[in-house]
Amino acid sequence: MKNLFDHFNLAGTDLKNHIVMAPLTRARAPRDIADERTALYYTQRATAGLIVSEGTPISREGQGYLFNPGIFSAEQIAGWRLTTNSVHSVGGRIFAQLWHVGRVSHPSIQQDGKVPVSATSKRAEKAKAFGYNENGQPGLVTPPAPRSLATSEIKRIVEDFAQAAENAIQAGFDGVEIHGANGYLFEQFMNPLVNDRDDLYSAENLENRLRFTLEVIDAVTARIGANRVGIRISPYGKLFDMPHYPEIDSTYTELCLEVGERKLAYVHVMNQAGYSRLDNAMEPEAESGFNRLLREMKPLLQETALILAGGMTRERAEQMIADDIIDLVAFGAPFISNPDLVARLSNGWPLSPADPNTFYGGGAEGYIDYAPYTAR
């Protein structure tokens, strides 16, 4: 029987266990550059088999939240190199999550106050970005209607992803994860109820809706190799005004087929039913659909590993790995307050609760001050 704490070969990268630290936005980079605190935070958690970094914007245009370290400037590359060197010094592995939020942004964050761009000109209802309010203070702001990208502009964004992947390798990351989940730019192309284009990237058929995603995957793998590339997806998610549509299953099974043929390192699936704190949580019908789809994914992926995140426990993870439904398990919030989460899971030690008030922004409190387990 496969053991959660055994080594795992991730497309040639040796992981010391089957546990992944999921990407977690922490908004702790005042200059949008990873610093010494960032390095300490990730190094404290480097007993995970794999760390996936917080979302790191590929460009100023791709940013939707203040204080997140990007990967598009020389200073940002140097900042991340401190983190990767530190993680590697204790035997850890770390991928950078490459991020473009699309329409979930605000002019106060964009260069020269430009309107955010997307696959569509439809506004994300009820969504919030984190930018500067009317008083010039950081805070939650409402994204405006975006500007729909011209067909000729899309190649530029594809190149931005490829360059960001190259930058990540230069910064010392072991690979990259394309952020195709949570209602951001990729889903804005894939969802036919959001995508209102009339060009090669339109919602007219599945090939067109997946075209942007596959072009990015191909450009990134051409630049750094398929064995260094993963993608995160969130089927049946509804974050940031992503309505459900009849073709969800066919969209993601086709995407998995394409990913498997390209032999990417992994597909990282986010189960939003497991995240009770998220808005627009899954209805029971959607959760049933998600679970059915999840079981169909792994055979399609061939040699590509499957990671699952969302409300996971050691017991559930071990059963799903034993049943060959998934290969690796990702934990998010538990890693915030348990830097030694792997040891706690292995030894059956209790988990420390996290303080949601310190999830985003601030200083050391709730970031690098959580203590490892000590027997009382």
Q: Rounded to the nearest 5°, which phi and psi values hold at 207? A: -60, -45
HEC secondary structure over the chain: CCCCCCCEEECCEEECCCEEECCCCCCCCCCCCCCHHHHHHHHHCCCCCEEEEEEEECCCCCCCECCCCCCCCHHHHHHHHHHHHHHHHCCCCEEEEEECCCCCCCCCCCHHHCCCEECCCCCCCCCCEEEECCCCCEEEECCCCCEECCHHHHHHHHHHHHHHHHHHHHCCCCEEEEECCCCCHHHHHHCCCCCCCCCCCCCCCHHHHHHHHHHHHHHHHHHHCHHHEEEEECCCCCCCCCCCCCCHHHHHHHHHHHHHHHCCCEEEEECHHHCCCCCCCCCHHHHHHHHHHHHHHHHHHCCCEEEEECCCCHHHHHHHHHCCCCCEEEECHHHHHCCCHHHHHHHCCCCCCCCHHHCCCCCCCCCCCCCCCCCC
Single out the catalytic residue among 41, 65, 184, 367: 184
Catalytic residue status for 184? yes
Question: What burial letters (b/e) apply to 143-159, b meaning 16+ CB within 10 Å?
Answer: beebebbeeeebeebbe
Active site positions, annotated: 184
